[in-house]
Amino acid sequence: MIAQSPLRETLRQMLALLEGERQALAALDLERILTCADGKMDLCACIEQGATGELDEEERGLLDAVTRLNAINRKMRNLIAANVEARLSALTGRTGLYGQARQAVREMPA
Q: How do the domains of the chain map onto residue ranges? A: 6-107
Task: Give the pLDDT of the chain (110 residues) as one tens digit per residue.
Answer: 455 688 999 999 999 999 999 999 999 999 999 999 999 999 999 998 877 788 899 999 999 999 999 999 999 999 999 998 888 888 888 765 555 555 554 555 54
Alpha carbons 40 and 87: distance in angstroms, whole number: 29
Alpha carbons 59 and 26: distance in angstroms, whole number: 28
Topology given in CATH for the domain delimited by 6-107: Methane Monooxygenase Hydroxylase; Chain G, domain 1 (1.20.58)
pTM of the model: 0.75
